[in-house]
Amino acid sequence: MEPLGVGLGTAALLSTVLDVFALVTSFRSYSESSTVLFRQLELEREVLLRWAVEVGLHPARASLSNCAIPPNLLPLVHNTVATIGSVLAKATSPIGGDNKELETGPHYLGQVLERLQKETQPKHSQSRLSRSLARLGWAIGEEARLKDLIATIHAYNTSLHNLIPKPLQISLDGSIMQAILAEPDPNRLLEIQRAGVHWRRALSVAASVAALQQQASTPIPPSTNQLMLSRARFASLGQDMARYQTKYTNNGITEVLIEWRAYRIPPNSETKMTYLNTCLDLARLLHASQNLETYRTLDCLGILDDVEFQPHSRVGLVYRVPLAVAAAGPPVKVFTLHDLINLKEFSRPSLDERFELARNLATALHRLFVSRWYHKNLNSKNILFFTQAADGRGSCVQPYLSGFDYARPDSPDEMTIKPEADEFCDRYRHPQCTHPDSRSTIPFRRRFDVYSLGILLMEIGRWETVDRMHKDYSAQKARAAGKGSVVAPVPLESFQRYVRTRCVESLAFRMGTIYTNAVKFCLHDATEGGDTPSTPVVDTEQELVSGLNREVVAELAKCTVCTGSDE
């Protein structure tokens, strides 16, 4: 059969399999069924659905012109999908009876679907339900067989996942997580967390993180029961607001890093309690998310409320230095991305290293978004690297997000603190966050964090800090004004426009068009009057998160150093 015919047949078969799958998972609503096991089955259906959409095989009526499956692999895909259908048909076929064998083959999936649809109609609920439960009696009475069904479908889903190109796999992973974690009910999120423990651990941890944000009463993990840390357990605390490395004693000595946040709130006030609760929520999020490598966060042990610090109080987020680094022996040093770019002793990373660094940062922001959090302070001084080398040499592709000074959940009930004007930080901020008319009133949006990511990707691509770009731009203005002229400081708005145009234009020959387009996506929302070529338009916050995954994370995965290519 021609590839087009195989593709059309596979698309139609997939549609039927997904419909049968949906009806099978609907039995979870019956009290006799296992909630967690059927939730696992639902997760596998969602994975299959997202895979089908991502590769262009669903919906069935869609054109196959954008199908990502190579023609020579379509027969294998068809057979795999057919096998999944057969497994589902067998699970729902009558126990005994003359037509058992007829209903277990993929060619009879249409009949299986029609039968299940009739048997789940409300007007026949009592009699149909009894027969349906009889057909799934083995699944309810013999959990081992239901587990085998889940394991089998999971294995086939994994094989389908491995058939597609790596960039598409990365895009698929992000879209699956975003779709499943969009669940608004925290109890359902906890179901997902329990269901994914064995087969989909990353999704399980991410669901736990999202549940923490959704419901304040969510049970706190045992390791974070004591989030308010005592001053007496620290070797020292430092004399200013700078990051501070020290040792923390609690059932042993732990190497930690404290990040301070200043606050000017009356003691023992309701406002302070609200603020500290936001800090505690952040500590819980960071503690949970450190179990996911893609989040690029440090393990937060808790917070320290330093009311004795003058002239105003400060609260510290206490992070454990990564164990893999701390266990290596020599003293651990912390470098920021800003440090590494400016260090003369640190050689410029290779293109592949910069591609990987950029992709890791973009993925981390996407995962933060799907957990319903904002960062609000992304800049090169808040990207950390840990190493034993005095000159900063080490793994420059393993960044850690820090500087959660203003981070908060995406919730109108959460207390938020507006970032103060700061010359350095403002160069990373969206123009609406720095304009005098809007900076103190505009609600924070995810697109503002995406803009900051774009500036970071610009720095990584050029291997030049944004303050260096500002210095060069100011020098250009001074030369244009003529020798001896008094030149006023460059307005921030003018510099922001320069970054979005001239600096972006210089990226293509350095990093390739794919990388440049990813940066354009991050910055395009801030363009005015067509400063930047057209980029995909996003209308909602969820579309923005999907776009970040598709246009930045997945696209950066395509960037490699190839002979004869500009990518």
The per-residue pLDDT for range 230-242, each reduced to its tens digit, is 999 999 999 888 8
Torsion (CA) 236, 237, 240, 245 in degrees, nearest 10: 90
d(CA 525, CA 126): 55
Q: Which of 205-214, 410-419, 512-521, 558-567 has the highest mean pLDDT?
A: 512-521
- Quick check: 563 pLDDT over 60? no
Domain ranges of the chain: 3-164, 220-321, 349-567
How far apart are the C-alpha atoms of 317 and 404, rounded to whole Å? Answer: 9
Q: Give the C-alpha separation, 283 to 304, whole Å.
A: 11
Query: Which has more confidence, 249 or 61?
Result: 249
Two tokens at 178? 């975003």
- pLDDT for res 460: 97
pLDDT of residue 554: 96
Question: What average pLDDT does the segment 33-53 reach?
Answer: 88
Across 63-78, average pLDDT = 84
Q: Which amino acid is at 343?
A: L
pLDDT band of residue 565 (cuts 50, 70, 90) is very low
Dump pLDDT digits (tens) for 522-559. 998 765 444 444 455 556 888 999 999 999 999 999 99
| pLDDT > 70? residue 479 | yes
Is the CB of residue 57 less than 8 Å from the CB of residue 7?
yes
- The answer to whether residue 447 scores a pLDDT higher than 90 is yes
Confidence of residue 123 (pLDDT cuts 50, 70, 90): low
Q: What is the pLDDT of residue 530?
A: 40
Report the CATH number of the 349-567 domain.
1.10.510.10
Residue 315 near residue 259, CB atoms below 8 Å: no
Which strands form 333-336's sheet, in the order they lie side by side? 333-336, 383-387, 400-401
Element (H, E) at 303: strand 300-306
Q: Looking at the DSSP assignment, which residues form a beta bridge with residue 373? A: 409
Please, which residues have CB within 8 angstroms of residue 469's CB and are 6 or more apart in sequence? 462, 495, 498, 499, 503
Reported as a single tens digit per residue, the pLDDT across 342-389 is 988 788 899 999 999 999 999 999 999 998 888 889 999 999 999 877
Measured between alpha carbons, how far is 492 from 484 in angstroms, rounded to an integer? 23
- Per-residue b/e over 400-429, b at no fewer than 16 CB within 10 Å? bbbbbbbbbbbeeeeebeebeeeeebbbbb
Query: In 356-500, which ranges are E strands?
Result: 373-374, 383-387, 400-401, 408-409
Stretch 108-131: mean pLDDT:
63
pLDDT for 482 = 79
| pLDDT average, residue stretch 221-235 | 75
| Residue of 142, 178, 149, 8 whose CA lies nearest to 157 | 149
Distance CA 108, CA 451 (A): 52
The tokens for 418 are 């507006």
pLDDT at residue 42 greater than cutoff 80: yes
Asked whether the predicted pLDDT for residue 71 surpasses 80, the reply is yes
**Average pLDDT, integer, range 112-126:** 64
- Burial (CB < 10 A; 0-12, 13-18, 19+), residue 109, is buried
Confidence of residue 121 (pLDDT cuts 50, 70, 90): low
The letter for the amino acid at 451 is Y
Q: Enumerate residues 6+ apart whose C-beta is below 8 A from 148.
A: none
How large a percentage of the chain has pLDDT more than 70?
A: 78
Residue 261, both tokens: 């946040």
- pLDDT for 329 equals 66
Structure token digits, residue 229 = 């840390």
Task: Please state, rounded to an integer, the average pLDDT across all residues of the chain.
Answer: 82
| Model pLDDT, residue 4 | 66
**What pLDDT sits at residue 366?**
96
**Dihedral angle of Cα 487, 492, 493, 494, to the nearest 10 degrees:** 40
Task: Identify whether the C-beta of residue 361 lies closer than 8 Å to the C-beta of residue 383.
Answer: yes
The mean pLDDT of 216-238, rounded to a whole number, is 71
Residue 73: half-sphere exposure toward Cβ, Cα within 13 Å: 13
Strands 408-409 and 373-374, bridge-based pairing: antiparallel
What is the model's pTM? 0.86
Q: Which residue has the higher pLDDT, 10 or 551?
A: 551
The torsion region of residue 72 among left (phi > 0), alpha (psi -120 to 50) and beta comes to: alpha
Which pLDDT band holds residue 184 (cuts at 50, 70, 90)? confident
Q: How far apart are CA 305 and CA 340, in angstroms?
A: 31
Q: Mean pLDDT lowest for which of 86-90, 470-474, 553-557?
A: 86-90
Contact 543, 475 (CB under 8 A): no
CB 60 within 8 A of CB 11: yes
More confidently predicted of 442 and 341: 341
CB-based contact 354:342 (threshold 8 Å): no
Range 323-335 average pLDDT = 73
| pLDDT of the residue at 99 | 45
Mean pLDDT along residues 173-198: 88
Lowest mean pLDDT segment, chosen from 149-163, 188-202, 539-553: 188-202
Architecture of domain 220-321: 2-Layer Sandwich (3.30)
> pLDDT tens digits, residue range 393-430?
667 889 999 998 666 556 555 555 556 678 899 999 99
Whole-number Å distance between alpha carbons of 504 and 459: 10
User: In this predicted structure, what is the pLDDT of residue 283?
Assistant: 87
pLDDT classification of 149: cutoffs 50, 70, 90 = confident
At residue 220, does pLDDT exceed 80?
A: no
Q: Using DSSP, state whether 319 is helix, strand or coil.
A: strand
Q: Which long-range contacts (CB under 8 A, 24 or more apart) does 264-270 make?
A: 264/312, 264/313, 265/313, 267/307, 267/313
437 vs 452, more confident = 452
